[in-house]
Amino acid sequence: MNTGQKCLRYAHCENMPAVYWRSLRLRVEGASPLGGNEVTLANSEPAPCSLITTDQYFVNTMKISAFSDSHTMHRQVEIPDGDILIFAGDISNCRTSQDVSDFNSFLGTLPHRHKVVVAGNHDHLLAGDPDRAQALLPEAIYLQDKVAVLDGITVYGAPWQPKFNDRACDAFALPRGRALEEKWAMIPDGVDILVTHAPPAGVMDQDGPVCHGCSDLNDAIQVKQPTLHVFGHIHNRHGILNDAQTTFMNCNVQQGGSSLRSALSFQYDPQQRAISAC
């Protein structure tokens, strides 16, 4: 029953490091003993080699948690377990505290397999050389105009936001128009999750009478159509907004006073490019 070819195909899957998947859904020859023509394996389970006729595999739905704007209070944020953790900027307080080292230690205590960090306008210590910023955050995948593919999910991160005024904290702040356009033009096609610190214009971006969102970012999102856009920056807006092409998520944890919001948590199916509640 077990042909060499079938076993070789299984070996291909087996050679894929287990860290890259929680379970595999494999197509099988004819009806499997479990019914249907597919079988799902947990990553600790031996594969029924005789059943496998193709090396196609699918990473099942991933659990993702996202937060931002912890401003040195990261240890007070409730963060659900998951496969991927996303941080969308503002580890620090502007020019007063640069607690990046403790943030990195904190990330090391969390169980998520992948921890993505994008900087914000308060993170002056990370501004400048992205390689140096990555070296300060060895527990994280630091994304500054950079893409990472995590278990089949494409994540792109960029810290830029429109410059507000001369008194504002201005790490990664750029003038509206061409300078920001050029940054957003670097977003590649086919991104599942776009992570920025800044919101797009008109989407959970209002603070008092001022809308801080970036219309140049809206234009890029229209073209690139990421499935999900995660951001923070504007503390008094928070939540999830579904649009036709893209779901928007302001995941900041600051709600005024001393208590913090929890990280937002959701499921992502990279095959369907679909988001669902946990």
Q: Closest approach of Cβ 197 to Zn ion, in Å?
A: 8
**Residue closer to Zn ion (CB basis): 90 or 205:** 90
Total of residues contacting Zn ion (CB under 5 A): 2
User: Can you tell me the distance from the alpha carbon of 66 to that of 80, in angstroms, rounded to the nearest whole number?
Assistant: 9
Q: Closest approach of Cβ 270 to Zn ion, in Å?
A: 29
**Count of Cβ atoms closer than 10 Å to residue 145 Cβ:** 14
* Of 69, 99, 170, 216, the one binding Zn ion by CB under 5 A: 69
**Residue closer to Zn ion (CB basis): 28 or 204:** 204
Q: Closest approach of Cβ 93 to Zn ion, in Å?
A: 9
**205 sits near Zn ion (criterion: CB under 5 A):** no
Angle at 216 between CA 213 and CA 220, to 5 degrees: 115
Q: Which amino acid is at 182?
A: E
* Of 83, 90, 123, 216, the one binding Zn ion by CB under 5 A: 90
Q: Which stretch binds Zn ion (CB under 5 A): 43-51, 85-93, 171-179, 187-195?
A: 85-93
- The CB-side HSE value for 124 (13 A sphere, CA atoms) comes to 9
Q: Closest approach of Cβ 247 to Zn ion, in Å?
A: 21
**Residue closer to Zn ion (CB basis): 111 or 257:** 257
User: Can you tell me the distance from the alpha carbon of 28 to that of 8, in angstroms, rounded to the nearest whole number?
Assistant: 15
Give me the count of residues in the chain. Answer: 278
Q: Which amino acid is at 153?
A: I
- 257-260 contacts: CB < 8 A, separation 24 or more? 260/70, 260/73, 260/76, 260/77
Q: Closest approach of Cβ 33 to Zn ion, in Å?
A: 54
**Residue closer to Zn ion (CB basis): 39 or 204:** 204
**Residue nearest Zn ion, CB atom distance:** 69
**Residue closer to Zn ion (CB basis): 69 or 83:** 69
Q: Closest approach of Cβ 253 to Zn ion, in Å?
A: 9
**Residue closer to Zn ion (CB basis): 37 or 206:** 206
Which residue from 130, 66, 74, 65 is spatially nearest to 97, judged by alpha carbons?
74
Helix then strand count (H, E) for the chain reads 5, 18
- Chain residues that interact with Zn ion, rule: CB under 5 A: 69, 90
